[in-house]
Amino acid sequence: MTTPNQPSIDRADQIARAWQREQPGVPVGSIGILTRIQQAAKLLADHRRRTLTSIGMDAATLDLLSTLRRSGPPYRLSTRDLATRCLVTAGAITQRVDRAQRDGLVRRLAAHRGSRTVPVELTDEGHRAVEGAVGRLLTHEQTLVDRMDPQEQHELARLLTVFLQRLATPDEATE
């Protein structure tokens, strides 16, 4: 509940009503869902940024180290695999690896003879850094999710999965 001096973060209904008034024939049902998802994403990104700042790690480095750590022993992937798994370009991966290597978190290994593939692996320092960062970040993010009871968390995860799957399916009517 908001007080008169505290504006509501959730303005989706207000926005929908305003569009209904201004353009009565325009569908506004999506506002109640998409505006709230965008607001939640902004709030979560702000939380994540603050937490990563307190940890002393940027999001790109965490993404790189986490991707290597999740790959399992020997915690090594090619730069091509890293780019694919991190959903970034080869140039972006090169920059991330350069920075992490400079900081002693990863090392590049020699390419196999006749190959242009450059393996990258976590160093011991990289292992320690990612273990600490992920532990602190996920613990904090769980406190955010725990504002809902377990049944609500499960239902939200289920509905978001359905929504994402359907968004990823091409809509022949709009293509």
Q: How high is the pLDDT of residue 1? A: 45
Number of domains in the chain: 1
> Averaged in consecutive runs of 10 residues, what is the pLDDT profile of the chain (175 residues)?
53 93 94 94 95 95 97 96 96 96 96 82 97 96 97 97 92 59
Structure tokens at 43: 């709030």
- Residue 161: phi and psi, rounded to 5, are -60, -45
Range of the domain at 65: 56-166
pTM of the shown model = 0.79
How many DSSP H helices and E strands does the chain contain?
8, 3
- Identify whether 23 is part of a domain: no
| 86 lies in some domain | yes
Over residues 70-92, the pLDDT tens digits come to: 999 999 999 999 999 999 999 99
In the sheet where 106-108 sits, what is the strand order? 76-78, 119-122, 106-108
Domain assignment of residue 61, yes or no: yes
Which pLDDT does position 113 carry in this prediction? 77
The CATH number for 143's domain is: 1.10.10.10
Quote the pLDDT of residue 172: 61
Which contiguous run of DSSP H or E holds residue 67? Answer: helix 59-70
pLDDT tens-digit readout, 106-115 = 999 987 777 7
